[in-house]
Amino acid sequence: MSLKVLVVEDDREIRALLQSSLSVEGFAVQTAVTLSEATALLRHDPPDLVVLDLGLPDGDGVQLVRELRQTRSTPVIVVSARHQEAQKIELLDAGADDYLGKPFSVAELLARMRVALRHRGTSLAAAVTLHELDGLRVDLAARVVQVNGAALHLTPTEFKLLARLVRSAGRVVTHRQLLSDVWGPEYTDHTHYLRLYMGQLRAKIERDPAEPRHLLTETGVGYRLADS
Ligand code: CA
C-alpha cells in the first residue's frame, strides 16, 4: 500500500508540481488549499506525512502543526518562503519535523521526507541506541563512542549532547531543545554553552572540525547529526 501524503499549499503551481512529482515517487497524494480543508482531511483520512506551506488564505500553517501535535505524531515538513530564523525555530519547537525554504528542489524534499518517515518508523519500534556513519560509532546503551575503532573519552555533558543528537539523527534539533534537554529548561538562553561543547565534540570526533562531516550547523536554528 502506498504512503499517503497531504500537501497543504495555496499556490496552484507548487501544488501541482508536488502532486505530480510525489505521485511519480509512488505516494498517494491528497491536496488542501486552506487550513480548514487540511484540518478536515487530517480528521477524516489521516495521512502518513504532511507537506505544509505557512502562508495560507485562512491562517498560518503553524496553527495546523500545533493542533496536529495534540493528537498525532504524523511527520510534518514545512515548505515556506519565510526565512527568518525565529519562525523556523517556532515551527520546529511546535513539532514540525523539518523546514525547507522556497525555492526548493523536489529531490531535497524527498530526501527530507524519507528521513522523517524513517525516523518515525524507528521511534515507533525501538529507541535508537546505535549510530554508525563514516568511522563514527556511538553506542548509547554501552556508553561507548569510537572513531575509526578507537574509543573516545567524552565528558558526561559531551556524551549527553551527542546522545541527544543521535536520538534525532538526520533531523535538526533547535538550540532551545538541546539546551533544555542537556542542561535543563532554565538554560535555554545559554547558547554559549552549546557553542563551547559543540566545539569540544567536533575537536574529538571530526577529522576536520572546521568542515564537520557529522555535527552539522543549521545556521541560527540548531544542529543536525548527519545520518547519511
Ligand atoms: Ca502560500
**Of the options 1.10.10.10, 2.60.40.1120, 3.20.20.80, 1.10.260.40, the CATH number for the domain spanning 130-225:** 1.10.10.10
Residues of the chain with CATH 1.10.10.10: 130-225
Tens of pLDDT along 91-118?
888 999 999 988 888 889 988 998 888 8
- Output the pLDDT for position 192: 94
Residues of the chain with CATH 3.40.50.2300: 4-119
- Output the pLDDT for position 119: 79
- Output the pLDDT for position 114: 86
| Contact status, residue 141 vs residue 83, Cβ threshold 8 Å | no
Find the range with the poorest average confidence among 21-25, 119-123, 125-129.
125-129
- Ligand 1 centre from 99 Cα, in Å? 15
- Output the pLDDT for position 191: 92
- Ligand 1 centre from 56 Cα, in Å? 5
- Output the pLDDT for position 121: 67
- Output the pLDDT for position 207: 95
Tens of pLDDT along 164-204?
899 888 888 889 889 988 888 788 899 999 999 999 999 99
Pairing of strands 4-8, 28-32: parallel
Spatial distance between the Cα atoms of 42 and 50, rounded to a whole number of angstroms: 9
pLDDT > 50? residue 123: no
Spatial distance between the Cα atoms of 222 and 78, rounded to a whole number of angstroms: 16
CA distances from 50 to 5, 76, 182, 219, 228 (A): 6, 5, 29, 24, 23
- Ligand 1 centre from 84 Cα, in Å? 16
- Reduced to 3 states (helix: H, G, I; strand: E, B; else coil), residue 61 is helix
- Ligand 1 centre from 34 Cα, in Å? 9
Tens of pLDDT along 21-43?
888 787 889 999 999 999 999 98
pLDDT > 70? residue 131: yes
CATH fold of 4-119: Rossmann fold (3.40.50)
Find the range with the poorest average confidence among 42-51, 117-126, 172-181.
117-126
- Ligand 1 centre from 33 Cα, in Å? 9
